[in-house]
A and B are shown apart, each in its own frame.
Chain A
């Protein structure tokens, strides 16, 4: 089996390279390490796309199994995680299509929407607005808010802003161009901001409200 070469331009090979090499050499416990390292992230991506907990569980399981089976095809010119995300996104979309009885669902569909492109809610937010809600209320608000976004926007936001991937890695993982990632990210950020404003905007004091009348 060939050894994966470090990614060109990087001085230190990514730690996953050694783990993948060990798996290829027959060390299943190294795969255990990779699964534990990325299972939460893969589960979140699957949740964003399928919006269904059971489907997300299945996707996570299937994506890791498929990646294990196809490990020989992994060239090492991309990062293991971006390669894994690509598998998980495809599995999620397949799952979604099944649920929607064959209706095409795609991550590269460019949704033309003006929502959020021009900020409408210009009220400032309260300082530390999340503190007005308990943990489960806040999680519910954040889930509800992101659920309304198109799948391509949600996944770009998750990869870039929550998981901290670079624009290049996000583009590679999703099979999108760099401008497409950038455009989705801007729209996702602005739409989320607009929608969260409803919960987080500064409450007007009664005196301020009276003055505006």
Chain B
């Protein structure tokens, strides 16, 4: 397996949607290729960091204000 072929299947590997056979091929490539191993681990980390950090948080005041405005309009039938 080449690095390009590995990269084409990177998402499937991350999303755990590869067959057992394919996984074995990908693992085999990883053992001999430090570059692809770094790409895989840092891509996984990228996802994890974005998932566990709130980058556009809504302060409680804003949330309540918007919420009240929505519900007031809905009660009037919009």
A contact residues vs B (CB 8 Å cutoff): 28, 31-32, 35-36, 39-40, 43-44, 47-48, 56-57, 60-61, 64-65, 68-69, 117-119, 122-125, 129-130, 135, 138-139, 142-143, 146, 157, 161-162, 182, 185-186, 189-190, 192-193, 196-197, 200
Contacts and interface: CB of A to CB of B under 8 A. Distances in A.
A35 B70 contact: yes
Interface string B27-61: 00000001100110111011101110111111000
B74 A39 contact: no
Contacts of B50: 142, 146, 157, 161-162, 192
Chain B interface category by residue count = 20 to 34
Nearest to A128: B45
A28 B75 contact: yes
| Secondary structure dominating the interface of B | helix
A156 to B, nearest CB: 11
Contacts of B63: 39-40
Contact of B70 (A64, A143, A157, A185): A64
B66 A193 contact: no
Given A119-B39, A197-B42, A61 B70 contact: yes
Given A43-B58, A124-B41, A189-B43, A142 B70 contact: no
Given A56-B56, A146-B50, A186-B10, A28 B45 contact: no
Nearest to A195: B46
B71 interface: yes
